[in-house]
Amino acid sequence: MSKNLRLCEVADVKDGEPVAAFAEGMPALAVYNVDGEIFVTDNLCTHGNAMLTDGYQDGDVIECPFHGGSFDIKTGAANAFPCQVAIVSYPVEIEDGWVCITKP
Ligand code: FES
């Protein structure tokens, strides 16, 4: 049975300042605010051992801190070389002011 996992409070995620989040049984996660809308992706870059929350958010793009690759925050698609493999993007639900995803 799937269940909602609470990651962090919506109020803690500022536009342009992604937040690292952890949930049991899940890989490291990144929570973003893009113009007031919340998105969640895997935090680990698919090119190397970098946490995207250490990178730079520009609108709906997250740039990896290591080699300049980037991803689309809304879809997880790889945007810029050397990133070629998408990161996982999770459907988000807001529950009592908390950012939640459903554990697959
Ligand atoms: Fe992210 Fe290389 S580790 S671009």
Q: What is the pTM of this model?
A: 0.95
Burial of 77 (0-12, 13-18, 19+ CB in 10 A): middle
* pLDDT (0 to 100) of residue 1: 52
* pLDDT (0 to 100) of residue 49: 96
Distance CA 38, CA 1 (A): 25
* pLDDT (0 to 100) of residue 103: 78
> Ligand 1 centre and the CA of 68: distance in Å?
7
Chunked into runs of 10 residues, the chain (104 residues) has average pLDDT values of 86 98 95 98 98 98 97 98 97 96 83
* pLDDT (0 to 100) of residue 2: 59
- With a Cβ cut-off of 6 Å, ligand 1 is lined by 45, 47-48, 50, 64, 66-67, 69, 82-83
Choose which residue among 45, 56, 61, 71 to substitute to test ligand 1 binding: the one with the highest number of ligand atoms within 8 A of its C-beta: 45
Structure tokens at 78: 């790889």
User: What would the CATH number be for the domain defined by 13-90?
Assistant: 2.102.10.10
* pLDDT (0 to 100) of residue 3: 74
Strand pairing partners for 39? 32
Write down the domain spans for the chain: 13-90
